[in-house]
Amino acid sequence: MVLARRTLEILKSVEDPARAAEIAIDVLLDEGRGQGGLILLDWKGRTAFAHSTPFMPVGTRSPAGAVIPF
């Protein structure tokens, strides 16, 4: 399964990066039978992430350098 490509297809239909990331991870679990995660940035600059493993830390910073908590 090509998770990145599948996620982009999902994003086109739901237009919400957070929801697209969640759906893509569900597909990974159902079809790929694996664990993983992804960080998504859409064309509007909105970010999202989802994962099915506790071994994927995620963090962001604003352009001014401030840490943005999830």
pLDDT tens by residue, 10-60: 999 998 999 999 999 999 998 877 888 999 989 998 989 999 988 888 877
Query: Is 90 exceeded by the pLDDT of residue 61?
Result: no
**For position 70, what pLDDT does the model report?**
61
**For position 69, what pLDDT does the model report?**
62
Residue 53, both tokens: 């493993």
Our CA dihedral for 38, 65, 69, 4, rounded to 10 degrees, sits at -10
Q: pTM for the complete prediction?
A: 0.79
